[in-house]
Structure 1
Amino acid sequence: MKDGTQSIDANSSAENVEQHLQELEKADYELLYYSQEQTFNADELSQLINEERLNKLMTQSDEFLSSLDGEIKDFND
């Protein structure tokens, strides 16, 4: 009977995993669907974006890319 119990448990686990994956897929679809419905105008976006922080991040990314470019050139030599 132990083998029968394991088979039932395995089926239950597989069913649970499949159900969970279907729920995730549905949630992803709903998120995509609802995100496409929402439109933001420039004023709303400007309220959401921290311009000072964005500028700092852009400066850091520019510095990083510049240093990376230098490292790649040094590597080729």
Structure 2
Amino acid sequence: MKGNKKSMDTNSSAEHVERHLQELEKADYELLYYSQEQIFSADELARLINERHLNELMAQSNEFLKSLNSEIEDFDK
């Protein structure tokens, strides 16, 4: 009877490990699937991008680069 109990426990553990490994494979596949690049059409991008905000950010970055360039030129002197 004890031998039978041990056999059942081994099967149960093996089944548990098998299920766990299958879940890990499923999670890996889902991560790979959802991490792939998605291709957007021009219409989708136009709908998603806030053009006014993007232009403000670009203006800020241009001003920052100009001031940084000025600091670098002053540093060389």
Q: TM-score range by the shorter chain?
A: 0.5 to 0.7
Distance (Å, rounded) in 2 between the aligned partners of 1:70 and 1:62: 12
Whichever of the two has the greater Rg, that structure is 2
Query: Residue deviations 1:16-43, cap 9 Å, x none?
Result: xxxxxxxxxx47644433x3xx221100
47 and 65 in structure 1: CA distance in 2 versus 1, 3 angstrom threshold:
same
**Percent identical residues:** 51
- 5 Å matches for 1:1-77? 26=28, 29-33=32-36, 35=37, 38-77=38-77
Rounded to whole Å, the distance in 1 between the matches of 2:31 and 2:67 is 38
1:70 to 1:47, Cα distance in 2 relative to 1, 3 A: same
Please, what TM-score do these two structures have when normalized by structure 2?
0.55
Normalised to the residue count of structure 1, the TM-score between the two structures is: 0.55
